[in-house]
Amino acid sequence: MTITHQHSGYTAGPNQWQAFLSCWYKAYQRRHQVLLSESPDYPDLPILSKYGLEPAQQQVTGDINEAIDKLEMSLGTTLPKSYKDFLLAYQPPLLEPNVVYGWAAAIGLYAPVQVGRAGILEPELVRIYEEIAEEKMAFRDIETTDENYFVYGIEQDDVTGRTRYLRDAIVVGKYEDDSSALILLYPQVKTADGEMEATILYHAGQFRAPSFAELMRQLSFYETQDITHVPPYSQKLLQGTCADKLPMVNVWWK
């Protein structure tokens, strides 16, 4: 079983992204004020580094369209629609490190010129993963079978993964200050409508979603709600939050 025959559920466009990102940004600001009241030194390191404009204010510039074209050419692949719609709506600025407690942390979504393959942008991290995989392969096959790999939503096991996908993965951002906390697209795994599997890595595993849009819905909940664990969160739990601004249709995962 794979997901090549499954539709990702993504049918939105830049306007829906605008509304979603605006809601996310405002909800994060409210949440951060609460955290500041509890701990005045709480760091401000949001995934969204600028305010999301409302749909009526949307201005898609030629520069961002040209940047997307150049990015696809440099990667040698067609990017998924949900990610390109995000770029059109958000037009991410260059991600610059913020100094917190004396060290620099760069958290957020990359500008198109910063996006690239993990093997090029994060060679040391890829090397470590591949060495660990090689050591474990001496004892057993750690590359997850299709039956276990192509499971999404809350039923997914966070230790399922395929190290062989990492070197060619497309790094589009970071969601925490940990060196391995990357936001990735896996071009090796695509849905029937061309969406790429989207992933967040963390030190003990990863969370994989059928599309960049679904991954961002999950990250919006992670950053704006009083919750301590990384995704996945159930579709039921996302209801009534900013995720509703970027609705999915005919969802086939829980």
Give me the residues paired with residue 209 across strands: 198
Do residues 149 and 162 make contact, with C-beta atoms less than 8 angstroms apart?
yes
Residue closest to 93 by CA, chosen among 121, 112, 68: 112
103-105 vs 108-109, strand pairing mode: unpaired
77 exposed, middle or buried (CB, 10 Å; 0-12, 13-18, 19+)?
middle
Q: What's residue 142's pLDDT?
A: 55
What residue ranges in 52-158 does DSSP mark as E strands? 98-100, 103-105, 108-109, 116-117
Alpha helix positions (H), 182-224: 212-224
Q: What's residue 134's pLDDT?
A: 75
Q: What's residue 99's pLDDT?
A: 64
Q: How do the pLDDT tens digits run along the chain, 254 residues long?
A: 689 999 999 999 999 999 999 999 999 999 989 888 988 888 788 999 876 544 434 455 569 999 999 999 999 999 999 999 999 999 998 998 876 656 667 899 999 999 999 999 999 999 998 888 777 654 444 568 889 999 999 999 988 889 999 999 999 999 988 888 999 999 999 999 999 999 999 877 899 999 999 999 999 999 999 988 899 999 999 999 999 999 999 999 99
Q: What's residue 180's pLDDT?
A: 86
**pTM attached to this predicted model:** 0.92
Sequence spans of domains, the chain: 14-243
Compute how many other C-beta atoms are within 10 angstroms of the C-beta atom of residue 73. 9
Give me the residues paired with residue 171 across strands: 116, 184
